[in-house]
């Protein structure tokens, strides 16, 4: 998406945790099927800390544009 001055408009990118087994997203009150309802981490290190403190395993860190169903980036954390 281009702005009138030729620069790219920034889209909101979310960082969420997704179970490799269930493909559900980690939320503050459990797990969600919707990435936009998941806990959004400002920094990747915060996501790693939540994995450790909640003993989450087989988890991916997913980056995607809010409202999109396609991942921009996905990496296994634990």
In a domain, 7, yes or no: no
Structure tokens at 54: 């909640």
In a domain, 49, yes or no: yes
- Beta-carbon neighbour count of residue 24 at 10 Å? 16
pLDDT of residue 78: 78
In a domain, 8, yes or no: no
pLDDT of residue 35: 94
Which residues form the domain of 43? 13-76
pLDDT of residue 11: 83
In a domain, 19, yes or no: yes
Segment 8-24, tens digit of pLDDT: 667 899 999 999 999 99
Number of domains in the chain: 1
In a domain, 4, yes or no: no
**b/e burial code for range 36-75 (CB count within 10 A of at least 16 → b):** eebbbbeeeeebbebbeeeebeebbbbebeeeeeeeeeee
In a domain, 68, yes or no: yes
Longest dimension (CA), the chain: 47
Residue ranges of the chain whose pLDDT lies below 70:
1-9
Structure tokens at 23: 């493909």
């Amino acid at each position: 998406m281009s702005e009138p001055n030729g620069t790219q408009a920034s889209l909101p990118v979310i960082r969420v945790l997704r179970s490799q087994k269930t493909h559900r997203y980690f939320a503050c009150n459990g797990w969600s099927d919707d990435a936009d309802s998941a806990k959004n981490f400002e920094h990747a290190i915060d996501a790693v800390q939540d994995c450790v403190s909640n003993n989450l395993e087989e988890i991916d860190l997913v980056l995607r544009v809010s409202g999109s169903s396609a991942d921009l980036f996905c990496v296994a954390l634990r």
